[in-house]
Structure 1
Amino acid sequence: MCRPVFYEACMHLRVVWWCLLLLLSGAASAEDFVYSVRPGEHLWGISERMLRSRGLWLRLQSLNQIENPYRIPPGTRIRIPLHWLKLDPDVARPLQMDGQSQLLRPDEQARLLTMDDELRVNDVLHVGEDSSVLLAFADGSEMLVRPNSQLQFDRITRVGGQAMVDTSMRLLQGAVEPTVTPRQSPSLKFDVHTPIGLTSVRGTQYRIAAEPGSLRVRAEVLKGEVVLVHDGAELAVVAGQGAVLSTSGSVPPRATELLPAVDVSGLPRQLRYLPLRLQMALPSGAQGMEVQISRSEDFSGIVSERSFADGEWRLGSLPDGHYWLRVRAIDPSGLRGFDAVHGFEVAARPEPPIVLSPTMDSRVRAMSIPAEWTRSADAASYRVRLWRQHPSGSEDLSEIMLTTPIIDQGEKSSQVKLGSHSAGRYVMSIATIDAAGREGPPSLPQSFRFEPAPTIGAAQSAFSARELILRWPAVPGVQRYAYQWGADADFDQVILEGELHEPVLKLPRPRRGIYYFRVRVLDDPEFPAPFSATQEIVVPMSWHSAGGVAILLGILLL
């Protein structure tokens, strides 16, 4: 009978012992960290690796009612009070950088941030214009620090020797976009303080921006939940909502629904002309948009960020290459809506020249179509193309340029005659070819009307003792002609000019020498035809002149 009594006493003492350990360890808390045991692990090893004191392993055993600390089934969930865990300083590391950013560290001069740097407590990160830094934390959280931002690190603590981080930062200026790994305990924070308020999250994707002057702070939540704290008041903002805090007011009574994504389905996939432009239709209620440009689809870096009061994105230039555009509609309070992303290519180089002639919708009257354009510093040569257009001129010029041109030729100079063609409408464009043989985009198409000028045959000259007669073939239907008689081929020295009603010019016989003559028809006062080809007229010596008489007397005296 003694043995059963002794056994019951032993069991009673065991229960008392367990209760005592539970009292010493404290009851399980909702804020305890929960660890999942892996194959081969035992309680002693877990305690040595994660707890601030080895002596806590017995209390950990009692808290979780583990009978055999050396044989724990894999997958067993062990609750660990946070204040038992190790706390070690940690760092944030750059994952990607675009542009230039500065690192300001206490007692050190500011310097450019590099990919090898580790951001520690009290460091301040200054991100420049059209620059960005993607930061990584030990728990897998990431944060994009956007252009023109300043961020100070107040706390980066690794908890329990694991990939768990308790983080607190101050956004002094600009905007950040964190993607936070779900917290393994409510006590593990990812806090972003601003000059006005605090955002505290436990697993979410959101944006927060401190506007210039720190008078307003915007928060927009895409996933999870954010709690905004200002002057002791709190506001929970869930996915699809946003809120604005300002120094002049308190926490708003409720969050605001974010605007829907902008429709980018109709945007072009290639941009060939500078400056870059894209027109977008904004959703109802939008008063502008914010546009970011990145080289990667995940927007781990930003090369440009601009806001616009309308739906037209404008940017002076980007190097040729592939990019991604992310646009957000802006509501009247300044909150940014949901993201819309569009991939595109910039292929704008070498840039096309500016066409000087023919100009758009001009009327050209000439023997042949004259083309002239500006010279490009990048040009080794040019490609000139000419298309025939429908007489109505109603065709889309971009569609015409997809057809086969009637002229497609290379040129070294910046002007050329494209020959004579029948009267009608034509379209011309010119592209630059660089030294590597790469052809850039064509110039904007120039649509014009060509009217071949009447051809005037060469003038026949006849001399008499006192007169020079120039006669050229009559042009049918033409009643008037204009002429020039000059001392040089460029007609910088015009001796005589005028108008005639007949295709004949009679002049007093000029002195011996070389002269130049050209003529044109005057059938259209608004668009006169060009002059004919310049003719060289050689006027011989007249025997009736003083010089001729002297020569004749000399011959007779011989």
Structure 2
Amino acid sequence: MPADRRDSSRHGRRRAAVLAGLLLGWQAGVLAGPAGADGDRFIHVVDSGDTLIGLADRYLGDARKWTELQRINQVADPRRLPPGLRIRIPLSWIPTRPAKVRVIAASGTVRLGDTPLRPGTQLDEAARVVTGADGRATLELDDGSRVALPPDSVVEVSRLRVFARALLQDAVLRIERGGADASVAPNHNGVGRFEMRTRTMITGVRGTRFEVEASGAESRSTVLEGRVTVAARRGSQEVPDGFGIAVGPGGRLAPPRPLQAAPILQPLPARIYAPSLNVAWQPAPGATAWRVSVSRDSARTEPIWSATMREPHATPAGLPHGRLYLSVRAIGADGFAGYPAVAPLDVKLEPAAPFTLEPGARTRHHGSAITLQWAAVANASRYEIELARDAGCAPVEARETTAEVSWQVPLAPGDWWWRIRSLDADGEPGPWSAVLPFSISPAAPAAAVTGDDGAVLRLGWGVDTTVAKPAAYRLQLADDPRFAHVLADLRSTEGEAAVPRPPAGDYWVRVARIEPDGATSPYSAPQRIALPAYLRDAAGNPVRATDAPVRHGG
């Protein structure tokens, strides 16, 4: 049998054995030390060297109360406790003091009652946090436990205390709507009481990572690490990691269901230079959807983007600069989200891409060169620019690295695309700017006199047959170089034009291209022409010698 099939078979047998044990009411031992609450009693699992006197002092603040612990736990020898023994202590006996919970992340619409909630806010007991359709929040307790609230959730901090002597957390959260993802006691110092309650279910922590969801009359608890005790109106159940359990409308606990395995992610880029990326993973048998999120931490307690996908791909967007973590979880037909596949994302958005000035998007320019311009970026040492003939910038036709904020580059006529990015002091780039299209057309040609018979003045200009022909040319003739007094203004589809000959003197002529889309190029540099005086007859017509008019004084 192939190795992968043997592993899968062993994994299946293990799950079946665990599930069978659960259905028989089996409970496995837990690590020694504080192990959370069971109903209204706190559980301490005896470690080597523990005594009832020491436990009474540690939790009750009075070593003399060891006799009461002996009575309710029916311990024969208070000085010799067998390791693994579960000592039950009524929570009402344990002195507590008020604690705090801090908002360490909040995005979108997040409110404390009617007040917008901001990171850094300290919450007291009875605080009620509401996340909107775009809202997410992460709460952190004194012991480092974190609770991440997804969009459309309402969660009340019903109890927020800490054991006065043992300094263990004593917290109860009530989920009125939506859900919560808890990472409890990350420092592995043990759990006092940590419960998340819905209308139909109480989930108490025995481990470190679980989720609770409330939707109408149904509630769900998913255990990813450690174990929890789930209590409902009609029974209770200990649920280990790798399983989920649901409570239906009647308060009946459904049998625990094994969770989906972590999906296999497609390779991700080593570095991401954009606030979004496409991610994909291999579909797996039994998965009907996938829960995808991006968080600031690998434990997924500070989500910044999340979505449920029906296909095995997603495009997280709005990502910030820095190290982030992608998480993908398969959702089975039973609605439980399985183990996460977690991968780091190195998003580099700094130095920011410069603000581009010239050329603007979809603008037309005339000539054989163009000057690219952009605004300076404060923490950039240099800039890298690319020019290409297509929007994908492949292949790159021209590339430049400069510390300046402009670059003049010769370009052939046609359509072009350009983009720019900043480089930091180490030469590491930030993201590219948007790719901006522009076009280059030939400069307008210069005009000259091609014919002068004394009555009609013919003007011509060279036409470059290697470039696209314009729709027309526009010619102007003036008696001053600034063209304040235009004598002739006409269009021509060819490379020449005729105008009535003005009197002898100095004149200026210029030409512009009119492109097929109606855009007009800048005029060519004004060309000075000197028209001589001709001898004329009584009717004012030029006097001719052979085919040419005779110049006055010539």
Shared fold per TM-score greater than 0.5 = yes
Determine which structure has more spread, i.e. the larger CA radius of gyration: 1
CA displacement at 1:484 relative to structure 2: 2.9
SS in 1 for 2:95: strand
Contact between 1:365 and 1:527, CA under 8 Å: does it hold in 2?
no
Offset at residue 242 of structure 1 (A): 2.5
Question: Quick one: distance in 2 between partners of 1:371 and 1:287?
Answer: 54
Whether the aligned pair in 1 keeps the contact of 2:99 and 2:162 (CA below 8 Å) is no
- Tell me how far 1:131 sits from its aligned partner: 4.2
Deviations 1:179-212, CA, capped at 9 Å, x for gaps: 4469x9xx9754321023222343352111224x
CA distance in 1, matches of 2:177, 2:204: 18
Counterparts of residues 83-98 of structure 1 (less than 5 Å)? 83=90, 86-94=93-101, 97-98=104-105
- C-alpha displacement at 1:384, in angstroms? 7.2
Determine if the alignment matches structure 1 residue 429 to structure 2 residue 431. Answer: no
Distance change (3 Å), C-alpha of 1:351 and 1:259:
farther
Residue type at the aligned position of 1:146: L
1:498 paired with 2:492, answer yes
For residue 283 of structure 2, what is the aligned residue in structure 1? 283
Paired AA for residue 220 in structure 1: T
Q: SS at 2:338's partner residue?
A: coil
Does the 8 Å contact 2:135/2:150 carry over to 1? yes
Kept in 2, the 8 Å contact 1:453–1:529? The answer is no
Matched, 1:144 2:143: no
What is the identity, as a one-letter code, of the residue corresponding to 2:104?
M
Q: What's 1:206 paired with?
A: 210
Offset at residue 151 of structure 1 (A): 3.0
Q: Distance in 2 between matches of 1:518 and 1:205?
A: 76
Q: 1:526 to 1:115 in 2, by over 3 A?
A: closer
- In structure 2, the residue matched to 1:344 is 346
Q: Is the 8 A contact 2:243 2:256 kept in 1?
A: yes
> How much is the aligned-residue C-alpha RMSD, in angstroms?
5.6
CA–CA distance in structure 2, aligned partners of residues 382 and 544 of structure 1: 67
Q: Contact 1:519–1:532 at 8 Å: present in 2 too?
A: yes
Q: Distance in 2 between matches of 1:463 and 1:132?
A: 84
Match of 1:419 in 2: 410
Structure 1 residue 290, shift from structure 2 partner: 3.3
Identity among equivalent pairs (%): 19
The residue identity in structure 2 corresponding to 1:533 is: S
- State the match for 1:486 in structure 2: 476
Letter in 2 for 1:313: T
Match of 1:554 in 2: none
Q: Secondary structure at the match of 1:266?
A: coil
Q: Which residue of 1 aligns with 2:138?
A: 133
Q: Give the secondary-structure state (helix, strand or coil) at the position aligned to 1:338.
A: strand
- The amino acid across from 1:517 in the alignment is R
1:364-513 equivalences under 5 Å are 367-368=367-368, 370=370, 385-386=385-386, 400=395, 405=398, 407=400, 412=405, 418-421=409-412, 428-431=418-421, 440-444=430-434, 459-460=448-449, 463-472=452-461, 483-487=473-477, 495-500=489-494, 505-510=497-502
- State the distance in 1 between where 2:229 and 2:536 align: 111
- For residue 454 of structure 2, what is the amino acid of its counterpart? A
> Secondary structure at 2:156's aligned position in 1?
strand
- Give the AA of the match of 1:268: P
Q: Paired residue for 1:19?
A: none
The Cα of 1:385 is off from its aligned counterpart by 3.6
In structure 2, C-alpha distance between the alignment counterparts of 1:301 and 1:234, rounded to whole Å = 31
Distance 1:536 1:288, change over 3 A: farther
Q: Deviations over 1:217-253 (max 9, x none)?
A: 3322212334444441556544223344454x76474
Greater shift after overlay, 322-331 or 153-162?
153-162
**Change over 3 Å in CA distance of 1:447–1:329 after alignment to 2:** farther
Q: Which residue of 1 aligns with 2:227?
A: 225
Taking the aligned partners of 2:512 and 2:91, their CA distance within structure 1 comes to 106
- How far apart, CA to CA, are the structure 1 residues paired with 2:91 and 2:117? 39
CA contact (8 A) 1:243 1:256 kept: yes
1:272 Cα deviation from its structure 2 partner: 2.7
Task: Tell me the TM-score normalized by structure 1.
Answer: 0.63
Report how far residue 347 of structure 1 moved.
0.9
The 1:59–1:302 alpha-carbon spacing in structure 2 relative to 1, beyond 3 Å, is closer
Write the distance in 2 (CA, Å) between the matches of 1:534 and 1:206: 76
Match of 1:174 in 2: 178
Corresponding residue SS for 1:162 = coil
Matching residue's letter, 1:293: V
Which SS does the other structure have where 2:268 is aligned?
coil
1:316-367: CA deviation from partner (whole Å, max 9, x where unpaired): x3443332333334445543232122222141623554986786xx9x9965
Match of 2:420, as an amino acid? I
What residue is the counterpart of 2:267 in the other structure? 266
Q: How does 1:53-68 map to 2 (within 5 A)?
A: 56-57=65-66
Aligned to 1:326: 327
1:9 is aligned to none
Is the CA contact 2:474–2:513 (under 8 Å) kept in the aligned structure 1?
no
The answer on whether the counterparts of 1:270 and 1:347 sit within 8 Å (CA) in structure 2 is: no
Question: Aligned pair in 2 of structure 1 residues 468, 355: CA closer, same or farther (>3 Å)?
Answer: closer
Q: Deviation of residue 172 (structure 1)?
A: 1.8
The total of aligned residue pairs comes to 475
Q: CA deviation at 1:509?
A: 0.4
SS in 2 for 1:459: strand
Flag the 1:432–1:527 CA change in 2: closer, same or farther, 3 A.
farther
Rate the CA distance shift 1:323–1:544 in 2: closer, same or farther, 3 A. farther
Per-residue CA deviations over 1:97-147 (Å, capped at 9, x if unaligned) read 11376667xxxx979688684744x4444567644334336xx58241324
Q: What SS does structure 1 have at the residue aligned with 2:475?
A: strand
Write out per-residue CA displacement over residues 497-550 of structure 1, whole angstroms, 9 at most, x where no aligned residue.
2234xx65443203567442337799xx9999989834434465856799xx9x
TM-score (normalizing by structure 2)? 0.63
Change (3 A) 1:162 1:475: closer
Change (3 A) 1:290 1:388: closer
Whether the 8 Å contact between 2:289 and 2:308 is mirrored in structure 1 is yes
Q: 2: CA distance between counterparts of 1:448 and 1:218? A: 56
Preserved CA contact (<8 Å) 1:352 1:440: no
- Residue 217 of structure 1 aligns with an amino acid whose one-letter code is S
